[in-house]
Structure 1
Amino acid sequence: MIIILSLIIMFVSGVVVFCLSHKHLLLTLFSMEFLVLSLYFMFFMFLLWSGCEIYFILFFLVFSVCEGALGLGVLVSMIRSHGNDFLSSLSILSW
């Protein structure tokens, strides 16, 4: 029971940080990775308790690693082109 409560608190805190970190791309990526990690633990516990195959976790990890690599690629590209990681510099309307 305490594990389920801690996983729910992890997920909710990750969502709160994701909603509040709207200035820097790196903070947004960190909060997204924290959300993926908490979802991974929830998925693992669900599959472990239900007695299903655990091979689904491998696919989840592959897609989460691809998402992390894509996010880091966008971050590096943005820093090279704009010189910072502020999300406000991506807007076309702000000069």
Structure 2
Amino acid sequence: MLIFISIFSFMYFMGLLSFCLKRQHLLLMLLSLEFVVISLYFCLFIYVGYFDNEYYFLLVFLTMSVCEGSLGLSLLVLMMRSFGNDFIQSFNLLW
């Protein structure tokens, strides 16, 4: 069980680190955010499997993460069509 917790924490913190370091590009931020969501799913799967509970919550979690990913990709497509790049500095042009 300790190895799973260490793997989860390593994945989670590496995802947060890449999220903080790649803050200029929206696509890289979305990819690192999805990596954080996958690491949280991994942790929840191990936790639910360890205590032998129902797996319905994991289905709801995956549904919400897919919705979050599709909203982020639609925002990325909107930015690419409007401004031609995925730089976060382009948000200043929206106001």
Q: TM-score, normalised by structure 1?
A: 0.93
How far apart are the structure 2 equivalents of 1:43 and 1:82? 38
Give the 3-state SS of the residue equivalent to 1:91 in structure 2. Answer: helix
1:37 aligns with 2:48: no
Instruction: Describe how 1:57-72 pairs up with structure 2 within 5 A.
Output: 57-72=58-73
| Residue 38 (structure 1) shift | 0.2
TM-superposition CA deviations, 1:1-41 (whole Å, max 9, x none): 21211111000100111111111000000000000000000
Percentage of pairs with the same residue: 49
Which one-letter code corresponds to 1:68 in the other structure?
Answer: G
| 1:16-95 → structure 2 map (5 Å cutoff) | 16-92=17-93
TM-score normalized by the length of structure 2: 0.93
Aligned length: 92
In the TM superposition, residue 91 of structure 1 has moved relative to its aligned partner by 1.7
Runs of 4+ aligned structure 1 residues displaced above 6 Å come to none
Code of the aligned partner of 1:85: D
Q: Does the CA-based 8 Å contact 2:4-2:46 persist in structure 1?
A: no
Question: Which consecutive residues of structure 2, in runs of 5 or more, have no partner in the other structure?
Answer: none
Report the 3-state secondary structure (helix = DSSP H, G, I; strand = E; otherwise coil) of the residue aligned with 1:85: coil
Determine the C-alpha separation between the residues in 2 that align with 1:3 and 1:53.
Answer: 20
